[in-house]
Structure 1
Amino acid sequence: MNENPSLELEEQKSELGKVEISPEVIEVIAGIAASEVDGVATMRGNFATDVAEKLGRKNHGKGVKVDLEEEGITIDVSVVITYGVSVPDVANLIQSNVKQALQTMTAIDIQAVNVHVVGVQFETVEPNQDEL
Protein backbone atom coordinates (compact mmCIF):
# COMPACT_ATOMS: atom_id res chain seq x y z
CA MET A 1 0.00 0.00 0.00
CA ASN A 2 1.15 3.52 -0.73
CA GLU A 3 2.72 5.26 2.29
CA ASN A 4 1.32 8.65 1.33
CA PRO A 5 -2.03 8.05 -0.37
CA SER A 6 -3.30 10.82 -2.56
CA LEU A 7 -5.81 11.12 -5.33
CA GLU A 8 -4.47 11.94 -8.77
CA LEU A 9 -6.81 13.89 -10.99
CA GLU A 10 -6.70 12.15 -14.37
CA GLU A 11 -8.36 14.94 -16.33
CA GLN A 12 -5.99 17.52 -14.85
CA LYS A 13 -2.80 16.02 -16.31
CA SER A 14 -1.11 18.50 -18.59
CA GLU A 15 2.23 19.39 -20.06
CA LEU A 16 3.06 21.09 -16.77
CA GLY A 17 2.61 17.98 -14.61
CA LYS A 18 -0.05 16.27 -12.57
CA VAL A 19 -2.38 17.38 -9.80
CA GLU A 20 -2.77 15.30 -6.64
CA ILE A 21 -5.14 15.90 -3.75
CA SER A 22 -4.46 14.43 -0.33
CA PRO A 23 -7.29 12.80 1.66
CA GLU A 24 -6.87 15.49 4.34
CA VAL A 25 -7.92 18.16 1.83
CA ILE A 26 -11.02 16.15 0.96
CA GLU A 27 -11.77 15.81 4.70
CA VAL A 28 -11.55 19.57 5.21
CA ILE A 29 -13.79 20.38 2.24
CA ALA A 30 -16.36 17.78 3.33
CA GLY A 31 -16.22 18.93 6.97
CA ILE A 32 -16.84 22.57 6.11
CA ALA A 33 -19.65 21.65 3.69
CA ALA A 34 -21.36 19.45 6.30
CA SER A 35 -21.06 22.00 9.11
CA GLU A 36 -22.70 24.68 6.92
CA VAL A 37 -26.00 22.75 6.88
CA ASP A 38 -28.71 24.15 9.16
CA GLY A 39 -29.48 21.61 11.87
CA VAL A 40 -25.88 20.43 12.31
CA ALA A 41 -24.87 21.43 15.83
CA THR A 42 -21.29 20.11 15.72
CA MET A 43 -19.10 17.64 13.95
CA ARG A 44 -18.04 14.59 15.96
CA GLY A 45 -14.33 14.16 16.45
CA ASN A 46 -12.18 12.06 18.70
CA PHE A 47 -10.30 12.85 21.90
CA ALA A 48 -7.26 14.23 20.06
CA THR A 49 -9.29 16.63 17.90
CA ASP A 50 -11.29 17.78 20.94
CA VAL A 51 -8.09 18.55 22.88
CA ALA A 52 -6.58 20.36 19.90
CA GLU A 53 -9.70 22.54 19.62
CA LYS A 54 -9.53 23.41 23.31
CA LEU A 55 -5.97 24.58 22.69
CA GLY A 56 -7.21 26.86 19.93
CA ARG A 57 -6.42 24.77 16.87
CA LYS A 58 -9.42 24.48 14.54
CA ASN A 59 -9.81 21.12 12.79
CA HIS A 60 -12.13 21.51 9.79
CA GLY A 61 -11.82 17.82 8.92
CA LYS A 62 -13.25 16.80 12.29
CA GLY A 63 -15.89 14.09 12.03
CA VAL A 64 -15.01 13.16 8.44
CA LYS A 65 -13.41 9.93 7.22
CA VAL A 66 -12.32 9.45 3.61
CA ASP A 67 -11.88 6.00 2.05
CA LEU A 68 -10.02 5.85 -1.27
CA GLU A 69 -11.06 2.56 -2.85
CA GLU A 70 -10.96 0.98 -6.30
CA GLU A 71 -14.70 1.62 -6.78
CA GLY A 72 -14.42 5.29 -5.85
CA ILE A 73 -14.31 7.59 -2.86
CA THR A 74 -16.56 7.07 0.13
CA ILE A 75 -17.03 9.85 2.67
CA ASP A 76 -18.28 9.14 6.21
CA VAL A 77 -19.55 12.18 8.11
CA SER A 78 -20.34 11.98 11.85
CA VAL A 79 -22.51 14.80 13.16
CA VAL A 80 -24.43 15.95 16.21
CA ILE A 81 -27.73 17.50 15.20
CA THR A 82 -29.83 20.18 16.84
CA TYR A 83 -32.87 18.94 18.76
CA GLY A 84 -36.13 19.38 16.85
CA VAL A 85 -34.84 19.14 13.28
CA SER A 86 -35.82 16.41 10.85
CA VAL A 87 -32.98 13.88 10.85
CA PRO A 88 -33.65 12.56 7.31
CA ASP A 89 -33.90 16.10 5.90
CA VAL A 90 -30.66 17.24 7.55
CA ALA A 91 -28.86 14.04 6.47
CA ASN A 92 -30.00 14.51 2.85
CA LEU A 93 -28.85 18.14 2.89
CA ILE A 94 -25.45 17.07 4.27
CA GLN A 95 -25.08 14.46 1.54
CA SER A 96 -25.93 16.86 -1.28
CA ASN A 97 -23.87 19.75 0.14
CA VAL A 98 -20.77 17.58 0.63
CA LYS A 99 -21.07 15.98 -2.80
CA GLN A 100 -21.61 19.32 -4.54
CA ALA A 101 -18.70 21.01 -2.72
CA LEU A 102 -16.30 18.20 -3.58
CA GLN A 103 -17.37 18.04 -7.22
CA THR A 104 -17.14 21.82 -7.59
CA MET A 105 -13.76 22.22 -5.89
CA THR A 106 -11.99 19.03 -6.96
CA ALA A 107 -13.94 17.53 -9.89
CA ILE A 108 -13.86 14.22 -8.01
CA ASP A 109 -16.74 11.78 -8.40
CA ILE A 110 -17.97 10.58 -5.03
CA GLN A 111 -19.31 7.04 -4.71
CA ALA A 112 -21.14 7.64 -1.42
CA VAL A 113 -21.59 10.15 1.39
CA ASN A 114 -22.63 8.27 4.52
CA VAL A 115 -24.07 10.38 7.34
CA HIS A 116 -23.82 9.09 10.92
CA VAL A 117 -25.94 11.01 13.43
CA VAL A 118 -24.11 10.34 16.69
CA GLY A 119 -25.91 12.73 19.01
CA VAL A 120 -28.51 15.40 19.62
CA GLN A 121 -27.70 18.78 21.10
CA PHE A 122 -30.33 20.63 23.09
CA GLU A 123 -30.32 24.40 23.06
CA THR A 124 -29.20 25.82 26.36
CA VAL A 125 -31.53 28.47 27.71
CA GLU A 126 -29.92 31.28 29.64
CA PRO A 127 -31.86 32.04 32.83
CA ASN A 128 -33.52 35.44 32.75
CA GLN A 129 -32.20 37.89 35.37
CA ASP A 130 -35.78 38.53 36.55
CA GLU A 131 -36.23 34.82 37.31
CA LEU A 132 -33.18 34.75 39.61
Structure 2
Amino acid sequence: MNNEMKRILSMVESGKITSEQAASLMETMEDSPKFENKEYLSRFLRVRVNSETNDNVNVNVPLRLIKALLQTGHSVASKIPQAQQYTEHIDIDLLISAIDNELVGQIVDVKLANGDTVLVYVE
Protein backbone atom coordinates (compact mmCIF):
# COMPACT_ATOMS: atom_id res chain seq x y z
CA MET A 1 0.00 0.00 0.00
CA ASN A 2 1.47 3.36 -0.97
CA ASN A 3 2.00 6.26 1.42
CA GLU A 4 -0.87 8.35 0.05
CA MET A 5 -3.35 5.55 0.72
CA LYS A 6 -2.00 5.11 4.23
CA ARG A 7 -2.38 8.84 4.88
CA ILE A 8 -5.97 8.82 3.64
CA LEU A 9 -6.83 5.83 5.80
CA SER A 10 -5.16 7.49 8.78
CA MET A 11 -7.27 10.63 8.25
CA VAL A 12 -10.44 8.49 8.16
CA GLU A 13 -9.37 6.66 11.30
CA SER A 14 -8.71 9.93 13.15
CA GLY A 15 -12.03 11.41 11.99
CA LYS A 16 -10.51 14.17 9.85
CA ILE A 17 -12.42 13.03 6.74
CA THR A 18 -15.40 10.76 6.05
CA SER A 19 -15.20 7.45 4.24
CA GLU A 20 -16.97 9.04 1.26
CA GLN A 21 -14.33 11.78 1.10
CA ALA A 22 -11.61 9.12 1.34
CA ALA A 23 -13.15 7.16 -1.53
CA SER A 24 -13.24 10.33 -3.64
CA LEU A 25 -9.58 11.08 -2.85
CA MET A 26 -8.57 7.51 -3.75
CA GLU A 27 -10.42 7.73 -7.07
CA THR A 28 -8.68 11.02 -7.83
CA MET A 29 -5.32 9.45 -7.03
CA GLU A 30 -5.99 6.57 -9.43
CA ASP A 31 -6.86 9.01 -12.23
CA SER A 32 -3.91 11.36 -11.73
CA PRO A 33 -0.52 10.74 -13.33
CA LYS A 34 2.20 9.54 -10.98
CA PHE A 35 5.27 11.74 -10.92
CA GLU A 36 7.40 13.71 -8.52
CA ASN A 37 8.94 16.98 -9.47
CA LYS A 38 12.56 15.94 -9.21
CA GLU A 39 13.69 19.52 -9.70
CA TYR A 40 11.76 20.64 -6.61
CA LEU A 41 12.96 17.69 -4.52
CA SER A 42 16.54 18.69 -5.32
CA ARG A 43 16.01 21.89 -3.31
CA PHE A 44 17.15 22.35 0.28
CA LEU A 45 15.63 23.37 3.58
CA ARG A 46 18.09 25.92 4.89
CA VAL A 47 18.44 27.03 8.50
CA ARG A 48 20.57 30.07 9.26
CA VAL A 49 21.36 31.41 12.72
CA ASN A 50 23.41 34.59 12.62
CA SER A 51 24.74 35.51 16.02
CA GLU A 52 26.14 38.82 17.22
CA THR A 53 28.90 36.81 18.92
CA ASN A 54 29.69 34.85 15.71
CA ASP A 55 28.17 31.59 17.01
CA ASN A 56 26.63 31.11 13.56
CA VAL A 57 24.83 28.01 12.35
CA ASN A 58 24.24 26.95 8.74
CA VAL A 59 22.25 23.78 8.10
CA ASN A 60 21.27 22.56 4.62
CA VAL A 61 19.00 19.52 4.36
CA PRO A 62 17.81 18.14 1.00
CA LEU A 63 14.00 18.09 0.70
CA ARG A 64 14.22 14.56 -0.69
CA LEU A 65 15.75 13.45 2.63
CA ILE A 66 13.23 15.40 4.70
CA LYS A 67 10.31 13.83 2.83
CA ALA A 68 11.70 10.32 3.28
CA LEU A 69 12.36 10.90 6.97
CA LEU A 70 8.90 12.33 7.56
CA GLN A 71 7.25 9.41 5.83
CA THR A 72 9.16 6.71 7.71
CA GLY A 73 10.33 8.39 10.89
CA HIS A 74 6.95 9.41 12.26
CA SER A 75 5.54 5.90 12.11
CA VAL A 76 8.63 4.56 13.87
CA ALA A 77 8.61 7.30 16.51
CA SER A 78 4.92 6.77 17.23
CA LYS A 79 5.68 3.20 18.29
CA ILE A 80 8.33 4.26 20.83
CA PRO A 81 6.65 5.35 24.09
CA GLN A 82 9.45 7.78 25.02
CA ALA A 83 9.24 9.51 21.63
CA GLN A 84 5.46 9.89 21.52
CA GLN A 85 5.51 13.02 23.66
CA TYR A 86 7.72 14.72 21.07
CA THR A 87 5.77 13.64 17.99
CA GLU A 88 2.13 13.74 19.06
CA HIS A 89 1.66 17.44 18.24
CA ILE A 90 3.46 17.38 14.89
CA ASP A 91 1.15 17.38 11.88
CA ILE A 92 3.17 15.18 9.54
CA ASP A 93 0.45 15.33 6.87
CA LEU A 94 0.73 19.11 6.79
CA LEU A 95 4.53 18.99 6.44
CA ILE A 96 4.40 16.41 3.65
CA SER A 97 1.63 18.43 1.98
CA ALA A 98 3.87 21.52 2.05
CA ILE A 99 6.60 19.53 0.29
CA ASP A 100 4.13 17.99 -2.18
CA ASN A 101 2.77 21.47 -2.96
CA GLU A 102 6.30 22.70 -3.60
CA LEU A 103 6.50 25.30 -0.85
CA VAL A 104 9.35 27.69 -1.64
CA GLY A 105 10.66 30.69 0.24
CA GLN A 106 11.00 31.85 3.77
CA ILE A 107 9.24 29.89 6.52
CA VAL A 108 10.70 31.43 9.68
CA ASP A 109 12.29 34.84 10.28
CA VAL A 110 13.12 35.70 13.90
CA LYS A 111 15.14 38.62 15.20
CA LEU A 112 16.05 38.26 18.87
CA ALA A 113 16.55 41.13 21.31
CA ASN A 114 20.29 40.45 21.44
CA GLY A 115 20.58 40.96 17.66
CA ASP A 116 20.69 37.28 16.68
CA THR A 117 18.57 36.21 13.71
CA VAL A 118 17.09 32.85 12.74
CA LEU A 119 15.99 32.15 9.17
CA VAL A 120 14.41 28.96 7.83
CA TYR A 121 13.60 28.72 4.14
CA VAL A 122 13.33 26.41 1.14
CA GLU A 123 15.65 27.26 -1.71
Instruction: Identify whether the pair has TM-score above 0.5, normalized to the shorter chain.
Output: no
Which structure's residues are more often helix, by fraction? Answer: 2
Give me the TM-score of the superposition, normalised by structure 1: 0.23
Which structure's residues are more often strand, by fraction? Answer: 1
